Amino acid sequence: MAQSATDGRLADRTVLVTGAGSSGPGWGVGKAIAAACARAGARVACLDVKLDNARETAGILEEEGGTTLALQADVTDSAQVEAAVRQVLDAWERLDVLVNNVGILELGGPVEASEESWDRVMDVNLKSMFLTCKHAIPAMQAQGRGAIVNVASIAATHWTGIPYISYASSKAGAVQFTRQVALQHAREGIRANAILPGLLDTPMVRAPLKDHYADGDVEAMIAKRDAMCPTGKMGDAWDIAHATVFLASDEAKYITGTDLVVDGGITAKFA
């Protein structure tokens, strides 16, 4: 586990992280983001479609002395998202930071992917951002400030060698969605930025991609993905978590409507 002393950058802030559970053993991006925000002094609401996963993350933060909530919601359902936001406001009376991290990945190009798969990925990866912002932004407007961090992907702008048309398209949509939100609400003190992770070694990646890279051999898949990176090594969930804390904090008070690429230089090869 990546450890860091509480630094106070998010002291007295309330943060809602979607997809805060991990889809498998280890540290997923949402789980790491929740931990990094708590270690920066924030109160953290851990939201996941599986309550046990949200509770696991919240439990880790509480063991470290953090203040947390574990929430369950299907982020493609407006009523459930609204209820989750209301729970945060009822508990802590404000919502300072929204982190849209939840996402799924399904393989297939436009010929191979089913219509159902396309709709499912678009709903989870993109519609969810629309719904969380719909219900969270009014609280930020009332406060006169807020920060939104949307986790996208370098697949939004580059071909990564993997045919997942729905995932890439949803992440491209997330980038433009972020810019629209940022510009519309800039004068209200609300910032919105996107993080574009590159190749990461996380539970979400290991399960769906192992067959594509190496016929089910996870270690061979990791070796191939490591070799693709200029650094010789994939990133991990903490690289995204630390970037999130920065964008959520006042250190980034003059940063909005931008894309922070966290990819170990891989997209620079195609610049």
DSSP bridge pairs for 150:
100, 194
The SS3 of residue 190 is strand
* DSSP classification of residue 270: G
As separate numbers, helices (DSSP H) first and strands (DSSP E) second, the chain gives 9, 7
* DSSP classification of residue 103: -
Long-range own/partner contacts, residues 81-87 (CB < 8 A, 24 or more apart): 81/128, 81/131, 81/132, 81/134, 81/135, 82/135, 84/16, 84/45, 84/47, 85/16, 85/132, 85/135, 85/136, 85/139, 87/45
Token readout for 6 is 């509480």
The SS3 of residue 258 is coil
Q: Which residues contact 134 (CB under 8 A, 6 or more apart)?
A: 78, 81
Residue in 164, 167, 213, 254 annotated catalytic: 167
Tell me if residue 213 is catalytic.
Answer: no
Q: How far apart are CA 197 and CA 173, in angstroms?
A: 15
Catalytic residues, by residue number, are 167
